[in-house]
Amino acid sequence: MKRSTIDLWVGIFVAIGIACITFLSLKVANLTPQSSDSTYSLYAEFDNIGGLKIKAPVKSSGVVVGRVSNIELDTKRYVAHVTLTLDSRYQFSRDTSAEILTAGLLGEQYVGLTQGGDPDNLKQGDRIALTSSALVLEQLISKFMLSFGEKSDTHSGQNASAAK
């Protein structure tokens, strides 16, 4: 086979390879070209973050407005210190509240932001003061079991007094 034909085919081969890798990194993986000046970060403190992970979405009214960029434990007060990186197109007022929600019954956890009424907006590095922790299923169940136990206790107490 002629040298130029081989060169042409190998050129096509390499072009296919580059196209495939570009497709995989742009369309399949979440490599979104996002410069740092179009985002700003806030932080929030939670008593319990449940199963929240780094890169979990931050949503407001169901729209993804940013991602969780860092999670660490504040060793002075023993609360979770969660850093949120938000798109600077979306601004939130200073009394915005953050809560950790679950998508579906067993889905992934995300941070939900609810806009407040304050005219001033949160700026880079500010703290979201109003937070509510994740619902942990085991704690819910144990609370339910406890209240159920108390109820049946009072029931048996009433029965005992009735028997008297």
Partner 1 sequence: MFDFLVTPIRNLGHTMINAIWRLGSISHFLFSILIYSGQCLTRFSLVIREIYFAGVQSLIIIIVSGLFVGMVLGLQGYNTLARFGSSEALGALVALSLLRELGPVLAALLFASRSGSAITAEIGLMKTTEQLDAMSVMAVNPIARVVAPRFWAGVLSMPVLAALFNVMGIFGGYLIGVVMIGLDEGTYWSQMHNSVDLHFDVINGLIKSLVFGIAVTLIAVYEGYDATPTAAGVSAATTRTVVTSALVILALDFILTAFMF
Is 25 a binding residue for partner 1 by CB under 8 A? The answer is yes
Min. distance of Cβ 139 from partner 1 in angstroms?
25
Min. distance of Cβ 159 from partner 1 in angstroms?
44
Min. distance of Cβ 70 from partner 1 in angstroms?
16
Asked if 58 contacts 86 with a C-beta cutoff of 8 angstroms, the reply is yes
Is 147 a binding residue for partner 1 by CB under 8 A? The answer is no
Is 63 a binding residue for partner 1 by CB under 8 A? The answer is no
C-alpha to C-alpha distance for 122 and 93, rounded to whole angstroms = 6
C-alpha to C-alpha distance for 59 and 66, rounded to whole angstroms = 7
Name the one range near partner 1 by CB under 8 A: 25-33, 41-49, 137-145, 156-164.
25-33
Q: How many CB atoms are closer than 10 A to CB 109?
A: 19
Token pair listed for 81: 């210190």
Is 145 a binding residue for partner 1 by CB under 8 A? The answer is no
Of the two residues 64 and 136, which places its CB atom closer to partner 1 in the complex? 64
Quick one: which of 3, 76, 89, 164 contacts partner 1 (CB under 8 A)?
3
C-alpha to C-alpha distance for 50 and 134, rounded to whole angstroms = 5
Is 103 a binding residue for partner 1 by CB under 8 A? The answer is no
| Most distant pair of Cα atoms in the chain: their distance | 109
Of the two residues 17 and 149, which places its CB atom closer to partner 1 in the complex? 17
Find where tokens 């999670």 sit. Answer: 71
Quick one: which of 4, 30, 36, 75 contacts partner 1 (CB under 8 A)?
30
β-pairing, 127-128 vs 79-87, is: unpaired
Quick one: which of 2, 27, 76, 164 contacts partner 1 (CB under 8 A)?
27
Token pair listed for 16: 């296919």
